Structure 1
Amino acid sequence: MAILIDSETRVVCQGMTGWAGTHHTAAMIEYGTKVVAGVTPAKGGRFHLGAPVFDSVAAAAKETGANASMVFVPPAQASAAIIEAVEAEIALVVAITERVPVLDMIRVRHALAGSKTRLIGPNSQGILSPGLCKMGVMATGSERPGSVGIISRSASLTSEVIAQVTAAGLGQSTTVGVGGDPVHGLSMRDCLELFLADPKTEGIVLIGEIGGEEEQEAADYIASVRPAMPIVGLVVGLHAPAERRMGHAGALTMHGRDRADAKIAAFEKAGITVASSPHLVGDTIGRALAARAKAA
């Protein structure tokens, strides 16, 4: 079983007619995702990649039954695009746009409060349920349907971990890129709750990095619920210099709790098994699941 998306997800792509939107939407369609419409203001009435284009998300949803939106919109306009999807009551919005202004994302947070919408991103590589649906720019080819849920802040490490989990014969239920910007939608903790409630997910991998306290919040949640499901964590950036942004807008160490070593300590205290190196994640979750099966 997948979380958030499946084979019946109907996607509208905001900004589909631009270069990035065209390229990545075509890849989503090729994967099998049901892209039912595009949205580009002043281009309504056209067709692009075989799908009708509308001037607004509300019109697209009304005509096509779209229940998810993929946002391919530049940073200055991204928050308005997300809020438009929220106001159209789209259930799931995935935003890949990087470095959306923080004040703009505060406005998005206010729009999300009490709404029917879940937001992934911005600065997310997307979400992937193998063989069912792909929303975003996540690399494909090594993914396989399986029982491991993956939650990640890092796009490149996501691809590596997916390949390792597949090589271990486990496969993935769903992989979620929560986003690397400092203010974003669904958190690691939010995704943990969804995976722990999914009967087909048997193990979880958390991929963290420096910056913020999202990993500590996830660890606090795990410590409070003490799930039987094996959870493996990886945190990168042990040698990252302080007060220097490392790639993602949110990967910035400013004080003690946002350092990699503090996050690792929080994982270990919560009972999360920490992989000592990125290349050991697949083996670590494989051994954790095998030990659980043996104990049962």
Structure 2
Amino acid sequence: MAILIDHDTRIMVQGMTGWAGTHHTIQMMEYGAKVVAGVRPGKGGRSHLNLPIFDTVAEAKGATGANASIIFVPPATAAAAMIEAIEAEIPLVVTVTERVPALDMVRVREALKGSRTRLVGANSQGVLAPGICKLGVMATGSERPGGVGIVSRSASLTSEVVAQVTAAGLGQSTTVGVGGDAIHGLGMRECLELFLADPETDGVVLIGEIGGSEEQEVADYIAQVRPAKPIVALIVGAHAPRERRMGHAGALTIGGSGEAAAKVAALERAGVTVASSAHLVGRTIAEALAGAR
């Protein structure tokens, strides 16, 4: 069983008529995802990719029963698109857009409080349940259905770890890109909670990096609940220069905060097995699962 998405996920695409929206909508549909509508203000009543286009999220939801949205909207207007989806009570929203202004994301986080929406991103590659649903922009081909849940801050490392897990004969239950920006929606801890509650997820891989404190927060949670499921982590950026952004907005250490060594230490204290190198993640989770049987 996947988390967040399943065979009944009905997707609307905010910003579907642009190049990125068009390209990735086609990719999702070819994977088998149920895309039911697009949203583009001013183009309501038209069709694109043989799908109806609506002016608003509320109209699209009412007409098609969409219960998830993916957002391909430029950074300057991405927050408004997210807030519109939250106000329309869309249960799951994935935002692919990068470089959404931090103050705009603060407004989005306020809108999420007390809402019925789970937001993944911004700056997320999305959510993938192999063979079930693709709600995102990730590459496919290496994924296989299986029992390993993957939570990641890095899109490229997710692809690498998926390939390793598949090569180890394990497969994935779901992969979730929580987003690389400093301020985003669903965090690593909340995602881990969902995986621990999923009976078909046997073990979890956490892919973290420098910047922020998410890894320490998830380590505190693991230390508190002491889950029976094996958890393996990879933390990258140990040799990154301080106070220089590496890759995206969230990968930044300032004044010693967010350093890789501190994250590794916190996770190891919580009982997590930390892979010493990116190329060892598949082998490490396979060994952890074998030892748990």
- In structure 1, the residue matched to 2:137 is 137
Q: How does 1:176-255 map to 2 (within 5 A)?
A: 176-255=176-255
What do the CA deviations read for 1:262-284 (whole angstroms, capped 9, x no partner)? 10111101100000000000000
Instruction: Measure the CA separation in 2 of the matches of 1:11 and 1:229.
Output: 31
Instruction: Measure the CA separation in 1 of the matches of 2:30 and 2:248.
Output: 29
Residue type at the aligned position of 1:171: G
After superposing on structure 2, the runs of 4+ consecutive aligned residues of structure 1 that deviate more than 3 Å are none
Residue type at the aligned position of 2:203: G
Residue type at the aligned position of 2:172: Q
Instruction: Measure the CA separation in 1 of the matches of 2:189 and 2:50.
Output: 38
Instruction: Measure the CA separation in 2 of the matches of 1:257 and 1:216.
Output: 11
- In structure 2, the residue matched to 1:4 is 4
- In structure 2, the residue matched to 1:65 is 65
Instruction: Measure the CA separation in 2 of the matches of 1:214 and 1:248.
Output: 16
Instruction: Measure the CA separation in 2 of the matches of 1:138 and 1:50.
Output: 23
Q: Would you say how many aligned residue pairs link Structure 1 and Structure 2? A: 293
Secondary structure of the structure 2 residue equivalent to 1:104: helix
The answer on 1:81 being equivalent to 2:81 is yes
Instruction: Measure the CA separation in 2 of the matches of 1:168 and 1:243.
Output: 37
Q: Once the 2 structures are TM-superposed, how far is the Cα of residue 101 of structure 1 from its aligned partner?
A: 0.4
1:69 touches 1:93 (CA, 8 Å); kept in 2?
Answer: yes
Secondary structure of the structure 2 residue equivalent to 1:176: strand
Residue type at the aligned position of 1:89: E
Residue type at the aligned position of 2:101: P
- In structure 1, the residue matched to 2:29 is 29
Secondary structure of the structure 1 residue equivalent to 2:143: coil
- In structure 2, the residue matched to 1:148 is 148
- In structure 2, the residue matched to 1:260 is 260
1:205 touches 1:232 (CA, 8 Å); kept in 2?
Answer: yes
- In structure 2, the residue matched to 1:105 is 105
Instruction: Measure the CA separation in 1 of the matches of 2:103 and 2:134.
Output: 29
Aligned-residue CA RMSD (Å): 0.5
Residue type at the aligned position of 1:17: T
Q: Once the 2 structures are TM-superposed, how far is the Cα of residue 116 of structure 1 from its aligned partner?
A: 0.2
Q: Once the 2 structures are TM-superposed, how far is the Cα of residue 248 of structure 1 from its aligned partner?
A: 1.1
Residue type at the aligned position of 1:134: K
Residue type at the aligned position of 1:276: S
Instruction: Measure the CA separation in 1 of the matches of 2:195 and 2:50.
Output: 34
What do the CA deviations read for 1:76-122 (whole angstroms, capped 9, x no partner)? 00000000000110000000101100110111011100000000000
Secondary structure of the structure 2 residue equivalent to 1:256: coil
Q: Once the 2 structures are TM-superposed, how far is the Cα of residue 50 of structure 1 from its aligned partner?
A: 1.5
TM-score scaled to structure 1, two decimals? 0.98
1:123 touches 1:181 (CA, 8 Å); kept in 2?
Answer: yes
Q: Once the 2 structures are TM-superposed, how far is the Cα of residue 5 of structure 1 from its aligned partner?
A: 0.2
Q: Once the 2 structures are TM-superposed, how far is the Cα of residue 158 of structure 1 from its aligned partner?
A: 0.2
Q: Once the 2 structures are TM-superposed, how far is the Cα of residue 7 of structure 1 from its aligned partner?
A: 1.1
Instruction: Measure the CA separation in 2 of the matches of 1:255 and 1:142.
Output: 39
- In structure 2, the residue matched to 1:47 is 47
Secondary structure of the structure 2 residue equivalent to 1:258: coil
Instruction: Measure the CA separation in 1 of the matches of 2:276 and 2:107.
Output: 38
What do the CA deviations read for 1:7-62 (whole angstroms, capped 9, x no partner)? 11000000000000000111000000000000000001111112100000000000
- In structure 2, the residue matched to 1:124 is 124
Residue type at the aligned position of 1:270: A
Q: List gaps (5 residues or longer) in structure 2.
A: none
Q: Once the 2 structures are TM-superposed, how far is the Cα of residue 255 of structure 1 from its aligned partner?
A: 3.0
1:209 touches 1:251 (CA, 8 Å); kept in 2?
Answer: yes
Instruction: Measure the CA separation in 2 of the matches of 1:276 and 1:190.
Output: 25
Instruction: Measure the CA separation in 2 of the matches of 1:68 and 1:254.
Output: 36
Q: How high is the sequence identity, in percent, across the aligned residues?
A: 74
Q: Once the 2 structures are TM-superposed, how far is the Cα of residue 256 of structure 1 from its aligned partner?
A: 2.6
